Amino acid sequence: MLALARGYAAQQNYGRARRWWTQAAQAGHAGAELELALCALHGLDPGADLDTAVQRLQRAAEAGVAEAAYWCALLECGRDAPDLLRIAQCWQQAIDGGHAPAIAALRPWQRDDEHSAASIQRALRLSAAPAEILHADLNIAIHDDVLSAEECAYLVARATPWLQPAQVVDPATGAVDARALRNNASANLPDAEGDLALRLIERRLTDLCALHWRHAEALALLRYQVGEEYRPHLDVLPASDPRWQSPGGGGQRQTTVFVYLNPVAAGGHTAFPRLGIEVEPRQGRALRFDNLDREGRIAGNALHAGMPVQSGEKWLATLWLRQRPLRPW
């Protein structure tokens, strides 16, 4: 039955595939429970709901399927109040079962000859020093030591192969043209949805904000070399792009949060020219601010700039959080 389901899935006949997966699951096949859950999570089963998918994953994990345990950890990480002990237990089960993504997710926290449980506890540490408020109306604040040097280095290594010239969408025309505003490089990390390491780091950043992790866009990495900058701009999405205004589009970018990933030899400050505020880049330091005012209008005082790097280079990881949830789980 499982073979038939996979055969129909390979033909993209998911209706018949689901029928055979369901029969296999009813017969007690834990692998079929896992594959049905993944269909639901990835939108291939329109009638499925998240709770049912979680129950299927739990049954598969209890039956010893390591990949199911890994997905249980991922989904627990996205809850409003995640159970850290459950994340640790599910992650450890997936590692003990030899699931390669679960083992790879330890990389930012693993030390030589250390048991994986210690690395997991380091990964699940609570975030950050208290905020230093720079501007109350726009919630401009800095948090030091949000990410460790190892976590920062992990993000830089992940992003490096994907770097390309950064782009800007003209707010009036919708045309893509970066030359007038910025000359740095950027990267969007692929396959972040199923990457527990990235999810934990993203969660660390969004926990600094009033909005939930599901409001966040994909993590973006930026690199600035000597002389490169991002001139004064707003982070809001252009009115010419109708996608964010649709019911499922998440709305406008309410909040920006980013973290500096390396020590910058000179320059590279973040400036708010209308407020007279400058923030020095320090490795592991997060900066957050609102792009909209309390009435949901674009906040002109949120205009900010990445000042030119004078020596060395600057790496930055950025999350934009929308007014409404973007991620289903």
| Residue in the structure block whose two tokens are 């599910």 | 90
What CATH code is carried by the domain that includes residue 180?
Answer: 2.60.120.620
Q: Check if the beta carbon of residue 288 is closer than 8 Å to that of residue 255.
A: yes
Check whether residue 190 and residue 270 sit in a common domain.
yes
- H or E stretch covering 232: strand 230-233
Handedness of CA 184, 252, 299, 317 (dihedral sign): negative
- What residue type is assigned to position 122 of the chain? R
Choice among 58-72, 98-112, 171-185, 209-223 with the minimum mean pLDDT: 171-185
Indicate whether 240 pLDDT > 90.
no
Quote the CA–CA distance of 294 and 128 in Å, as a whole number: 26
| Residue 113 and residue 140 in one domain | no
pLDDT at 172: 54
Task: pLDDT band for 125, please (50, 70, 90 cuts).
Answer: confident
- 6-42 tens-digit pLDDT: 999 999 999 999 999 999 999 999 999 999 999 999 8
Whether 167 shows a pLDDT value over 90: the answer reads no
Regarding whether 163 and 119 lie in a shared domain, the answer is: no
Domain end among 123, 143, 163:
123
The string of pLDDT tens digits covering residues 190-239 is 766 789 999 999 999 999 998 998 999 999 999 999 999 999 999 999 88
What's the whole-number average pLDDT of the chain?
A: 92
Question: Are 162 and 83 in the same domain?
Answer: no
Q: Which domain holds residue 181?
A: 132-322
Tell me, yes or no, whether 166 lies in a domain: yes
Task: Judge if 87 and 153 occupy the same domain.
Answer: no
Q: Three-state SS for 328?
A: coil
Backbone dihedral angles phi then psi of residue 312, each to the nearest 5 degrees: 80, -145
Q: Domain check: are 184 and 308 in the same one?
A: yes
| pLDDT tens digits, 134-159 | 999 999 999 999 999 999 999 999 99
pTM reported for the whole predicted model? 0.91
The answer on 76 and 8 residing in a single domain is yes
The single-letter code of the amino acid at 118 is: A
Give the pLDDT band of residue 175 (cuts 50, 70, 90). Answer: low
Average pLDDT over residues 52-68: 97
In terms of domains, do 66 and 118 share one? yes
For 241, the token pair is 């792009």
Same domain, 150 and 262: yes
CA distances, 120 to each of 93, 148, 242, 278 (Å): 12, 14, 41, 36
**Which three-class secondary structure state does DSSP give residue 10?**
helix
Among 123, 141, 158, the domain-final residue is 123
What the block records as the tokens of 318 is: 């950025």
Are residues 144 and 110 both part of a single domain? no
The yes-or-no verdict on residue 96 having pLDDT over 90 is yes
Token readout for 173 is: 């025309």
Q: Assess if residue 328 is contained within a domain.
A: no
Q: Domain count for the chain, please give it.
A: 2
The residue among 99, 123, 147 that closes a domain is: 123
Mean pLDDT of 286-296: 96
Q: Is 312 exposed, middle or buried (0-12, 13-18, 19+ CB in 10 A)?
A: middle
Instruction: Please say whether the beta carbons of 250 and 325 come within 8 A.
Output: yes
- Site of tokens 């949000």: 146
> Does position 174 have pLDDT exceeding 70, yes or no?
no
Is 309:226 a contact under the CB 8 Å cutoff?
yes
List, for residues 67-92, the tens digit of each pLDDT value: 999 999 999 998 988 999 999 999 99
The predicted structure's pLDDT at residue 194: 86
